[in-house]
Amino acid sequence: MSTKFNELRSDIDELNELLKLAKRKRVQDIVSLEIRKLETELIALKEKEQSAQPAAKSEVSAPTTSAAPQKRYQIKLNGYGWDQSDKYVKVFVTLKNVQSIPKERVYCKLTDRSMELHVDDLEGKDYVLTINNLLEPIVVLTSHWKQKTDMVVVFLAKVHPNVKWSHMTGLEKKADDQHKNRFKTDDMDKKDPQESIMGLMKNMYETGDDEMKRMISKAWYEGQQKKKTDTLEL
């Protein structure tokens, strides 16, 4: 194989290592898209180099026969971008040269809570992107998709127009909520216990009856006197 082929292979391997280290969703999407671009370029280069190789001298011309159909393998896509309007959630999937294949090879299988994008026989390969457990339900009949230059855009029609999606899937929202709750718990653990007690007493004083207010005032006064006595003794 050529030097360029080896360079592309090395770039893909290094990007895959970076993808394992990436934690933010946006960064993972960017790295995944770049990996797919380089893989597509690598495949095209490999096919070009193989077709340019001269036939072996020992080969004997044979009568032309219909070639056996080339076996394709499926590539599962993970990275995508998304945006939304009042009526649609738009999913952006980058695939080089996808605009060059017939429309019937690009299609979606939809349910009210999932989408599965298929791109068949794009430069000898099949691609599929599956998104399950959508955050909100969609209208299957009015959802649609379009081929653009190096990209497919899927328009998922919202059952509830004008409702903004905070996340693409329920699983992403659950994970994000757990992450936020963990930080709230950590913040509470860091609070001064004395500050928490004072806040509790203040609330009791403001909401309590006259007897409760008298008892709290007395306790506070005695506490202040004790502090003064301890200071004098020192």
3-state SS record for 61-112: CCCCCCCCCCCCEEEEECCCEEEECCCEEEEEEECCCHHHCCHHHEEEEEEC
Q: β-strands 125-131, 81-84: how paired?
A: unpaired
Cβ contact 91:131 at 8 Å:
yes
1-51 CATH fold:
DNA Excision Repair, Uvrb; Chain A (4.10.860)
Residue for token digits 């298929």? Answer: 118
What's the whole-number mean pLDDT along residues 128-151?
95
Predicted pLDDT at 96: 94
Alpha-carbon Rg for the chain, nearest whole angstrom, is 32
* Banded pLDDT at 227 (limits 50, 70, 90): low
Residue 150 has pLDDT above 60, yes or no: yes
Per-domain boundaries in the chain: 1-51, 70-166, 173-226
Which residue would you say has higher pLDDT here, 128 or 187?
A: 128
Residue 102 has pLDDT above 90, yes or no: yes
In the chain, the percentage of residues whose pLDDT exceeds 70 is: 77
pLDDT single digits (tens) 25-68: 788 778 778 878 877 877 877 777 777 766 444 444 445 555 55
For 64-96, letters b (16+ CB in 10 Å) and e give: eeeeeeeeeeebebebbebeeeeebbebbbbbb
What's the whole-number mean pLDDT along residues 97-126?
95
Question: Hey, what are 99's tokens?
Answer: 């605009």
Cβ contact 115:108 at 8 Å:
yes
160: number of CA atoms within 13 Å, CB side? 6
Predicted pLDDT at 231: 57
Across 24-33, 78-87, 190-199, the highest mean pLDDT is recorded for 78-87
pLDDT single digits (tens) 204-217: 767 667 777 777 77
CATH code of 70-166, in short, is 2.60.40.790
Residue for token digits 């006595």? Answer: 229
Residue 131: alpha-carbon gap to chain centroid:
10
